[in-house]
Amino acid sequence: MTQVQSVPAGSLPDLSSARLLVVGDVMLDRYWFGDVSRISPEAPVPVVKVEKSEERPGGAANVARNAAALGAQVSLLSVVGDDEAGVTLGRLMEREKVRSSLHLDAAISTTVKLRVIGRQQQLLRIDFETAPSHEVLRAKLAEFEKLLPDCDVVILSDYGKGGLAHIAEMIRLARAAGKRVLVDPKGDDYSKYAGATVITPNRSELREVVGRWSSEEDLTVRANRLRDELGLEALLVTRSEEGMTLFRDGATFHEPARALEVYDVSGAGDTVIATLAAMMAAGAPWEAAVHVANLAGGIVVGKLGTAVVTREELAAVQA
């Protein structure tokens, strides 16, 4: 294992003045926890006796609450169905002190991911989702333009659920307004992210786009070629146990992984991009922002399910 990294003095600024606008696919993460003591007589599957349940914001909503947990001022713009899950998401975001504008689309159901947990292990995940309608997406785009003056940094969280159909236009509008744009990408077509400040694919997501690399030198060539093609200021690759690497024009910066047990990686990318954006909005340089984002990612993978890292947790590991 690599040595645990600490936060150097001065690298964790006051984030209370950072203003973030998070846009993307929101979802409600539901967890059913129970005991597993027998196999079903109907099929060779475990029987889970559900003892408790939890509901947490997921997707772009998890990004927003992670940024808020660090003390940033956060606005969330997205689409939900006119249903109980959408109402629950709105209530949860209010509790997390996130200003939410959740456009209602009566034609869809709010995306829900239901996870069944037995003996602290995920046994099953059930997804409910529908792509939002064109009319609601156009209305969201119009509100996006109105919200831009009141933010410092924009996060576009793409989970491939259809909520960012106008992402290229959002990037254009935000950049024209002088805002830095961070994108958590999805899929194998990154052309729609052209012009963003930075994109944050994980290792497997980047391989889908640039192919498999044979060495660190090969990765650097492929990453910088993609960065040039898209006109990005930077490309940040999260690499699981290998840490994360930032590629900029003429410079490569690598942060090794923290020496922690990995309990659950779900939502780790949300924590990383939220922390990176909050640090950038507070004026931190690239290296400091990536260092703290890596630290936050290392903390959150030690928690079950979609979770947050607080400023206090980061401060606790300062040198």
Q: What is the pLDDT of residues 97-114, one digit of tens each?
A: 999 999 999 999 999 999
Cα separations in angstroms, 301 against 1, 68, 178, 262: 15, 18, 34, 5
The per-residue pLDDT for 9 is: 40
Q: What is the pLDDT of residues 235-292, one digit of tens each?
A: 999 988 888 999 998 799 999 887 566 656 777 899 999 999 999 999 999 999 999 9
Q: Phi/psi class of residue 235: alpha, beta or left (left: φ > 0; alpha: ψ in -120 to 50)?
A: beta
- CA–CA gap between residue 274 and residue 15 (Å, rounded): 12
Instruction: Quote the radius of gyration of the chain (alpha carbons, Å).
Output: 19
| 219 φ/ψ angles, rounded to the nearest 5 degrees | -60, -45
Q: Give the active site residue among 25, 105, 158, 270.
A: 270
Q: Is 14 a catalytic residue?
A: no
Are 244 and 290 a contacting pair, CB within 8 Å? yes
The per-residue pLDDT for 259 is: 52
CB atoms near residue 274 (< 10 Å): 31
Per-position pLDDT tens, the chain of length 319: 233 344 454 458 889 999 999 999 999 999 999 999 899 999 999 999 999 999 999 999 999 999 999 999 999 999 999 999 999 999 999 999 999 999 999 999 999 999 999 988 889 999 999 889 888 999 999 999 999 999 999 999 999 999 999 999 999 999 999 999 999 999 999 999 999 999 999 999 999 999 999 999 999 999 999 999 999 999 999 988 888 999 998 799 999 887 566 656 777 899 999 999 999 999 999 999 999 999 998 888 888 778 888 888 888 875 4
- CA–CA gap between residue 192 and residue 167 (Å, rounded): 7
Q: Is 248 helix (H, G, I), strand (E, B) or coil?
A: strand
The per-residue pLDDT for 298 is: 85
